[in-house]
Chain A
Amino acid sequence: NAGVTQTPKFQVLKTGQSMTLQCAQDMNHEYMSWYRQDPGMGLRLIHYSVGAGITDQGEVPNGYNVSRSTTEDFPLRLLSAAPSQTSVYFCASSYSTRGIYNEQFFGPGTRLTVL
């Protein structure tokens, strides 16, 4: 089991460029989420998905798009990068047991710098 994988590990973009952060999980988890981590802010939810074909916005969705065409993959797209999107991005997956949501499993993160 690879768990949750993310690529790339590091990325530098120029303002206005677009890119896709990849996330995949091999645990057959229903739920997947994207968070960003900024100093002194903890982790904040960007978008999440409760199953293939179903996504919803989190706390800080502006400037990001997601789709979930398969259970395994949940890519995050930056439409037009801005310096405010410089951050560390974490993808996570989880599952439920008898209606109780279990812990989230996190990927290793992508460190993004926008110049």
Chain B
Amino acid sequence: GDSVTQMEGPVTLSEEAFLTINCTYTATGYPSLFWYVQYPGEGLQLLLKATKADDKGSNKGFEATYRKETTSFHLEKGSVQVSDSAVYFCALSGSGYSTLTFGKGTMLLVSP
């Protein structure tokens, strides 16, 4: 079945550092790929998405490119802020499915 693997955390960075959170997936067909963010005590919010190969999703300075050849969707940000501290989830929606398969989440901690 479908699966998502993302790097374990916590990832600890200083403000203005470069961020990469790796995400790879296994799926048949052509899934859609998503990054969600969860701030403490809150639900999940969509951060960005890509629905086909080579698409780049971007939002709030975060970017991720759908790489079918490497089955990856790595999340990047050039300069993180303290307010980016949260848990980040990579997820996919398999072809023909309305539900999501999630990675285990990566906690990001940004210090001033």
> A42-B104, A100-B51, A106-B43 are known contacts. Are A33 and B32 too (CB-CB below 8 A)?
no
Segment at the interface with B among A12-20, A43-51, A66-74, A79-87: A43-51
Contact A103 B98 (CB under 8 A): no
CA distance A32 to B97 in the complex (A): 12
Contact A103 B34 (CB under 8 A): yes
> What is the 8 Å Cβ interface bit string for chain B, positions 70-112, against chain A (1 contact, 0 not)?
0000000000000000000100010001111111110000000
Minimum CB–CB distance for B29 against chain A, Å: 12
Q: How many A-B residue pairs have CB under 8 A?
A: 56
Main secondary structure of the interface of A (DSSP, over half): strand
User: Contacts of A45 on B, CB cut-off 8 Å?
Assistant: 99-101
Contact B98 A94 (CB under 8 A): yes
**Does A75 interact with chain B (Cβ within 8 Å)?**
no
Count of A interface residues, CB-CB < 8 Å = 26
User: Contacts of B98 on A, CB cut-off 8 Å?
Assistant: 30-31, 33, 48, 50, 94, 96, 101
Return the contact of A101 from the options B32, B43, B89, B103 (Cβ within 8 A): B32
> Could you write out 19 A-B pairs with CB less than 8 Å apart?
A31-B98, A33-B100, A42-B4, A42-B102, A43-B89, A48-B98, A48-B99, A90-B44, A94-B98, A100-B51, A101-B97, A101-B98, A104-B100, A105-B46, A106-B36, A106-B44, A106-B45, A107-B43, A108-B43
Sort A-B residue pairs by CB-CB distance and give the 9 closest, nearest first: A31-B98, A42-B102, A42-B104, A106-B43, A106-B44, A43-B102, A103-B46, A108-B43, A101-B93
Chain B residues proximal to chain A, CB less than 8 Å: 4, 32, 34, 36, 42-46, 49, 51, 89, 93, 97-105
